[in-house]
A and B are shown apart, each in its own frame.
Chain A
């Protein structure tokens, strides 16, 4: 995320304004995905690797079983086969989970559709991508997300984009050996997403902590425009406060 990213500017009537905001949201979303493409690829290829290796092993075990004539030997062979099958099922389950993460991240849902979602699960999945990416940067990553659901009634596509932007902005500010802390907390009114990078790259602009309003497309805009506001020379911090109810429901 560069400092020069201009916030989208409404240009005409209400409809034009909404169109511009949706276009800006999509642009921010696709930029964030490009930033995280290595992690997304890793999440798909790793479980495939586990499945591929176990298929290879399955072929070995089957050939081995065919050679065994002793009853005890055959029993042992069947047990080995069962272990490989269990490993294959484990790899398959991991693949399904990761495909869900990728789909949720890449195709977060139709624009404008409001739904109830579990922010904790979403944050875990996106934090996972950030964790992989930080290894490549040789930075350390710590995610603190409660193991309980944090429900939110909101637009899924906007929240996904917002979370991706939070993660990407942290990665952009992290140099080698930086410590990135990503956390989620909540109360009955709102959910708080915080990220802190220390030390942050001196050649990158820093952003102030910023509270965001109820209107979620605006949240993404504010995130997009928040870069370039230097506040702290050593650390980069970003704080999002998301209302747990959408729009008028929140009032």
Chain B
């Protein structure tokens, strides 16, 4: 059902508009003041808002500015008795979908309706696809069907349409930048820039100029004016990765920008207004950094409006298969291949502790895919993942990763041969080309090592028995 809110103090125009909107299939309701419009929007966010600019209690454009909080999904059409370039620019900057001059060209208004319907259809399709992907544990480039990740997806969905600052916390490699990108993509700012700044990767000498920009001649080498990250991200989202690495003097300046929305370039004296949403990330304990005097408490409070803490991969083992499969699928798409994981390889991936989190898993999968033929097996995984031990491959073949210790290979080979010959030690020793005594000694060692009991070592044969 498409609903339309008409904000118009001229009763005759409002009634006519209401009737015409009904003809177009909308459910319209009318209010005559900004205050009533705000209340109605908060109670029942409309699909479309048709708002007169001159209202008894203020300027209709001010309603557009609070649309993000009141009705982020609504299309806003401003209707004005006079068209000026300044108001048109202000309207478009406020996220107004269209700007119509009185008397309204109804044909043009019908185009707005058609556009809105199409947008709704597409959104519904996107929503259905998103839900389908969510069912498969996929959400905006993130993968995970574990309860912990489903909760993260829910937080992202809720915070994205707002203007709130977000602080993403989590160990290195957990996907903090992916979360920031997802928030940007699901926000009203999605058509504008997403600018990521790694505070730990820019030298302390350059970071101020990179963030704030500089005027020509402000320092040696400043040959032309430079717009910093703040200005370049204006209208969009600015992501500060490793925010704890920002020098203390810049933390003060960042706080000022966040509070005033104004930036002064290095060497400049003019304030430039910026419209930003800030997302920050850190793998450090920021409370601890505050206690150590390395991070400003006021900045932490300003950034931590909405914290999201990503769990390490070892705490969501159930997601490992899906994440690994998604990386392999990506590799297959890029390389034009059709590789798949062997069940044993996935078991080995699940058993590993992943200190480097998803980033480490990604690198492991790509490396294994390069080494493997059609099937990615345990042997294609690095030795630190499988520790040289994994279940038998189908058909009884054994595969070892380069670098596997000889002792591990020997043990696996002896036990697999013994098993394939139904525990017949004599035939096993013959097959392996060793004496029966040597076999007994090895089996005894294995039993001492890990309580191997699949084949009792038994008493060693008498001397000369081989």
Write out, one digit per residue, whether chain A residues 37-71 have a CB within 8 A of any chain B CB (1) or not (0): 11001111110111111101100100000000000
Contact partners of A51 in chain B: CB under 8 A? 103
- Contact yes or no, B58 A45, CB < 8 A: no
Min CB distance, B89 to chain A, in Å?
A: 14
The answer for the CA separation of A12 and B140 in the assembled complex, in Å, is 81
Most chain B beta carbons < 10 A, residue from A37, A53, A57 = A53
The answer for the CA separation of A57 and B102 in the assembled complex, in Å, is 16
* A91 in the interface (beta carbon within 8 A): yes
The answer for the CA separation of A135 and B12 in the assembled complex, in Å, is 21
- Contact yes or no, A46 B10, CB < 8 A: yes
The answer for the CA separation of A136 and B20 in the assembled complex, in Å, is 28
* Size category of the binding interface on chain B: 20 to 34
Contacts A41-B82, A138-B62 given: A56-B101 contact, CB under 8 Å? no
Contacts A42-B54, A135-B54, A136-B54 given: A50-B59 contact, CB under 8 Å? no
Write out, one digit per residue, whether chain A residues 130-169 have a CB within 8 A of any chain B CB (1) or not (0): 0010011010000000000000000000000000000000
Using CB atoms and an 8 Å cutoff, list the residues of chain B in contact with chain A: 10, 12-13, 15-17, 19-20, 23, 53-55, 58-59, 62, 79-82, 84, 87, 101-104, 106
* A87 in the interface (beta carbon within 8 A): yes
Min CB distance, B320 to chain A, in Å?
A: 56
- Contact yes or no, A45 B103, CB < 8 A: yes
Cβ < 8 Å to B, chain A residues 81-132? 84, 87, 90-91, 94, 132
Q: Which 6 A-B residue pairs are closest in the complex by CB-CB distance?
A: A42-B81, A49-B102, A52-B103, A53-B16, A41-B82, A45-B102
Most chain A beta carbons < 10 A, residue from B23, B53, B81 = B81
Min CB distance, A220 to chain B, in Å?
A: 27
Contact partners of A135 in chain B: CB under 8 A? 53-55, 58-59
27 contacts between A and B (CB under 8 A): A38-B81, A38-B82, A44-B81, A45-B82, A45-B101, A46-B10, A46-B13, A46-B102, A49-B81, A49-B102, A50-B12, A52-B103, A53-B16, A53-B17, A53-B103, A54-B12, A57-B16, A57-B20, A60-B19, A60-B20, A60-B23, A84-B16, A94-B10, A135-B54, A135-B55, A135-B58, A136-B53
- Contact yes or no, A56 B82, CB < 8 A: no
Contact partners of B58 in chain A: CB under 8 A? 135, 138
A interface residues, how many (CB within 8 angstroms): 27
Write out, one digit per residue, whether chain A residues 16-53 have a CB within 8 A of any chain B CB (1) or not (0): 00000000000000000000011001111110111111
Which label, helix, strand, loop or mixed, suits the secondary structure of the A interface? helix
The answer for the CA separation of A41 and B84 in the assembled complex, in Å, is 11
Using CB atoms and an 8 Å cutoff, list the residues of chain A in contact with chain B: 37-38, 41-46, 48-54, 56-57, 60, 84, 87, 90-91, 94, 132, 135-136, 138
The answer for the CA separation of A92 and B367 in the assembled complex, in Å, is 78
Which residue of A is nearest B107, CB measured? A56
The answer for the CA separation of A56 and B81 in the assembled complex, in Å, is 18
The answer for the CA separation of A43 and B101 in the assembled complex, in Å, is 13
Contact partners of B81 in chain A: CB under 8 A? 38, 41-46, 49, 132
The answer for the CA separation of A34 and B448 in the assembled complex, in Å, is 101
The answer for the CA separation of A42 and B103 in the assembled complex, in Å, is 10
The answer for the CA separation of A67 and B87 in the assembled complex, in Å, is 43
Which residue of A is nearest B101, CB measured? A45
Residue among A52, A132, A138 making CB contact with B106, cutoff 8 Å: A52
- Contact yes or no, A138 B59, CB < 8 A: yes
Which residue of B is nearest A89, CB measured? B12
Given A49-B102, A138-B58, list of 15 further CB < 8 A pairs? A41-B82, A44-B81, A46-B81, A50-B10, A50-B12, A52-B106, A53-B13, A53-B16, A54-B12, A57-B19, A57-B20, A91-B12, A132-B81, A135-B53, A136-B54
